[in-house]
Amino acid sequence: MLQIDEQKRQKAVNSYKLVGTLPEKSYDNITQIASYICGTPIALITMLDYNRNFLKSHYGVPFNESPREISFCTHAIQTKDPIFIIPDARLDDRFKDNPLVTGDMKAIFYAGVPLVDRGGHALGTLCVFDHEPRELNEEQINTMIALASQVVSLFELRRQNIENKNLQKNLLKKNSLLKEFAGVVSHDMKMPLANIITTTDLLKTKYKELLDEKGLDYLNYLKSSSFSLSEYINGILQHYESDNLTIDQRESFDIHDLLEQIEDMLNHDYKTVIILPEANRIINCNRAALHQIFINLLGNSIKYNDKEEPVITVDFKEDESFYHFKVMDNGIGIPEEKIEEIFNLFSIVASKDKNGNRGNGIGLSTVKKLVANLGGKISVTSTLGEGSTFRFSARKENIPTLISGPEKENSDLTE
């Protein structure tokens, strides 16, 4: 028999959190197959706990645990061989007086394959019993070893799921703390920034005649930097608050009304043309989330456009399950190597927009989160120097009604 470190073995058993759990079909299927292959009335998947032999699956017996001190599996997990076989327990000094042999169970024949995890710990066995002496042929032995491997795979999958859930729980906790920290810091910085901007204007007004051109430039730079920081803070808050805008928060509204409101807010110059969808529809969606998505996408299309006459086209279609939107522009485009990372937080494509301001790399990351919260997906295609096209979707709930404009047949936003 092999010497095993029982403390480490027991720790491994505990890590799977299987002892005491209810029967599961995936395990019961294996014991049923083992019984059929070996021609035995009993097949078990066992896990040896501190003082009991827990039967994760028990085919052919009505109980799900037995005392460890009388367990055949206690011997099986210590074997150095792939399988532990007792042809006739009545002839074996280790088992001939065992209650499992002499009692109602009449455990005469036993064959058990140790269930060894990736750390080398024997957790229990896949085993079969019969009420009379017998042997297993080579095919039966090989099949038992293969089935035991499948059991261990199920064990490992369970432990991986446990680890993933724990990791997810920790990440959610850290994200919650980060969100709270970002909110507190951003809120506390807003007032000092507003004071800096106001003080800068007061200095320019009161001491304009006393300052030279360089001094005025310093004040302008201070004000511009304060506005940039303020915009950055607002972006951070929007990014974390976007988690609160979900698919379940719905209202009915028409698309043109939403887009016209956003167009007024963007306050673009008269040369910029924004073309709205030809067909206006009432849709049922999270208006606040769509509003923030379009503010970011349309705002970027305006800011990162080097054409004399910027043109932005918004298109819309729907299918049975989703609303589909498309925002196309003739702007500066996105370098091919930047396409994959454009939705990453703090990822910046262009060094400056057309007004000389540097982006903060928060907007598109927020857009991606909002689209995901609406049950949709977002993608982008772009040609450098010619423009970009953003496509995104939102899961539907109600069928919208056409309220104005001609119906477009088979509108395809992928073209």
Q: Do 158 and 183 belong to one domain?
A: no
Residue 278, SS3? coil
pLDDT at 350: 64
In a domain? residue 238 = no
Taking CA atoms, 74 is separated from 1, 78, 121, 361, in Å, by 11, 7, 13, 60
pLDDT in tens, 339-397: 888 888 666 666 566 665 655 567 788 888 889 988 999 999 999 989 999 999 999 86
pLDDT at 245: 57
In a domain? residue 130 = yes
In a domain? residue 233 = no
For residue 279, pLDDT over 50 is answered with yes
Name, in order, each residue with C-beta under 8 angstroms of 399's C-beta and a sequence gap of 6 or more.
Answer: none
Q: Do 268 and 393 belong to one domain?
A: yes
Q: Do 60 and 176 belong to one domain?
A: no
Task: Give the pLDDT band (50/70/90) at residue 32.
Answer: very high
Q: Do 154 and 191 belong to one domain?
A: no
Given strand 280-285, what is the order of strands in its sheet?
A: 251-254, 280-285, 401-404
Q: Indicate the residue among 120, 138, 165 that finishes a domain.
A: 165
Q: Indicate the residue among 147, 165, 183 that finishes a domain.
A: 165
In a domain? residue 412 = no
In a domain? residue 313 = yes
Rounded CA-CA distance 118/122 in Å is 10
In a domain? residue 275 = yes
Q: Is 312 exposed, middle or buried (0-12, 13-18, 19+ CB in 10 A)?
A: buried
The pairing of strands 387-395 and 378-383 is: antiparallel
Q: How many Cβ atoms are within 10 Å of 282's Cβ, its own excluded?
A: 15
**Greater pLDDT, 302 or 58:** 58
Two structure tokens written together for 51: 């003082």
Number of domains in the chain: 3
pLDDT in tens, 329-345: 999 988 888 888 888 86
In a domain? residue 39 = yes
Q: Do 118 and 70 belong to one domain?
A: yes
| Residue entry with tokens 């989160």 | 369
Instruction: Note whether 311 and 273 are within 8 A (CB).
Output: yes
Q: Do 130 and 177 belong to one domain?
A: no
Q: Do 388 and 276 belong to one domain?
A: yes
In this structure, which amino acid lies at residue 53? N
Q: Do 173 and 256 belong to one domain?
A: no
- φ/ψ of 276, rounded to 5, equals -85, 160
Instruction: Note whether 274 and 348 are within 8 A (CB).
Output: no
Name, in order, each residue with C-beta under 8 angstroms of 148's C-beta and a sequence gap of 6 or more.
Answer: 113, 114, 115, 125, 126
Q: Do 328 and 179 belong to one domain?
A: no
Q: What percent of the chain has pLDDT over 70?
A: 80
pLDDT in tens, 145-172: 999 999 999 999 999 999 888 888 887 7
In a domain? residue 413 = no
Q: Do 155 and 264 belong to one domain?
A: no
Q: Indicate the residue among 165, 194, 212 that finishes a domain.
A: 165
Q: Do 266 and 327 belong to one domain?
A: yes
- Domain CATH for 395: 3.30.565.10
Q: Do 63 and 206 belong to one domain?
A: no
Range of the domain at 353: 245-404
- Domain CATH for 122: 3.30.450.40
